[in-house]
Structure 1
Amino acid sequence: MLSPVDRVVRRAVMVPPRPTPVLVGIDGRAGAGKTTLAGLVAKRLHAQVVHLDELYDGWSGGAAGNRLLVKRVLRPLARGEHAAYPVFDWETGEYASRRRVEPAVYVVVEGVFSTIRAARDLLDVRVWLEVPAPLRRERALARDGDGFAPHWDAWARQEDELFGPDRPWEHAHEVIEG
């Protein structure tokens, strides 16, 4: 049985070679392990990683983050161009810097809402992480502590609102549980 990393890497390397990057999206609810999986996959593929946490415009910015991802990252990369996006500073509550992403053989995008709506059609590999809510909460609060705790319920409602009609797990190439 292949490990989750092996499953995602296998999918990515099966995409026929081309002049534009192979775009891999890793999605799931908060605390599912997206960042960890993305880091391991990126290491194996020698890929760049885009973290959606940098694109949200705060705790209610899931839909805005997805729109920014599509417009400023996925579309340019799919055309073989560099991407550039504003980076949100969670301390100041505003976009404070910019990040540039060069076209590479592989680019991994990770974060809640990374495979929904218009992003879906631009991604070559879509991964959904399915983890029980109590474990996700425990992980997220251990990682982000008091910064996330007061926002957990509102963020979960936002996940329900955006994931509900879209159902990204039904469009994933790989669904990874646990």
Structure 2
Amino acid sequence: MRQPLPPTREPAIHDLASRVRRLGPSCGPVRLVAVDGHAGSGKSTFALRLAEALGGAPVLRLDDIACHGELFGWTGRLLNQVIEPLGRGETAHYSPYDWRARRFGPPRALPPAPVIVLEGVGAGRRALRPYLALLLWMDLPREESWTRGRARDGEEQREFWDGWVPAENEHFAGDPSRPFADLLVRGRPEGYELLPGPSGAGGTDPSDHAR
């Protein structure tokens, strides 16, 4: 279980939280904010800090949606269990995957909050972008990200990483996220730096999003 993070005082994250609050809803009544990037790039930590700055916004981790047999083939499950109910203003129910037991657990409720942070590799994929209010990309090169991820997970997960790397390469080769990012997030010793993303949209025009 992840330990709670201390309250953030990073100006970039508080500025981003203010920006998110000004956006229009993108998925029913929800502003869905995606944090994508290579495995090991720091998505989880950043997403939790952003959620804290947003007053405790829910964070949906794609690690709970994916599974060993479908590292990237989970689009239909996410749409059916989460996106479609939220789009109707209803509480979503999804079954988090247990990576050790290799099975899905009991359903977990996800009410339609004002902002929900979607975090994980592939969060900015083509099928999800119409439902996003903002797409953020953790701008750390893949080799550096993977080195960090391997060090984090240790020898116990070496075999998993041997399978993950080619799967991630294949996913982003066919369905890249970075070219469509509204903002790039770069870690700095003093915190985070937010830069305009390749899309140039900046998440400022909610009329572009499908409902």
TM-score band, normalised by shorter chain: 0.7 to 0.9
Provide, for residues 108-131 of structure 1, a one-character-per-residue CA deviation record: whole Å limited to 9, x for no partner.
010111110211111111111121
Distance in structure 2 (CA, Å) of the matches to 1:156 and 1:8: 31
Distance in structure 2 (CA, Å) of the matches to 1:114 and 1:17: 17
The SS at the match of 1:103 is: coil
Equivalent pair of 1:82/1:103 in contact (CA under 8 Å): yes
Say which of 1, 13, 17 aligns to 2:21: 13
* Structure 1 outlier segments of 4+, above 6 Å: none
- Please state if 1:105 is matched with 2:103: no
- Please state if 1:66 is matched with 2:89: no
| Higher Cα radius of gyration | 2
Shift in Å at residue 7 of structure 1? 5.6
Distance 1:22 1:40, change over 3 A: same
TM-score relative to the length of structure 2: 0.75
Unmatched runs of 5 consecutive residues or more in structure 1: none
What residue number does 2:90 align with?
81
Query: Which residue identity does 1:55 align to in structure 2?
Result: I
| Identity, % of aligned positions | 32
What residue number does 1:155 align with?
164
TM-score relative to the length of structure 1: 0.87
Provide, for residues 129-166 of structure 1, a one-character-per-residue CA deviation record: whole Å limited to 9, x for no partner.
12123432332123322343222232121111111122
- Please state if 1:165 is matched with 2:174: yes
What residue number does 1:53 align with?
63
Q: Give the root-mean-square deviation of aligned CA atoms.
A: 2.2
Unmatched runs of 5 consecutive residues or more in structure 2: 1-9, 188-211
The SS at the match of 1:41 is: helix
Distance 1:68 1:34, change over 3 A: same
Shift in Å at residue 97 of structure 1? 2.1
What residue number does 2:126 align with?
117
Aligned residues: 176
Greater fraction of residues in helix? 1
Distance in structure 2 (CA, Å) of the matches to 1:160 and 1:65: 17
What residue number does 1:91 align with?
100
Deviates more, 1:61-70 or 1:120-129: 61-70
Report 1:22-37 matches (<5 A): 22-37=31-46
The SS at the match of 1:117 is: coil
Distance 1:94 1:131, change over 3 A: same
The SS at the match of 2:118 is: strand
The SS at the match of 1:170 is: helix
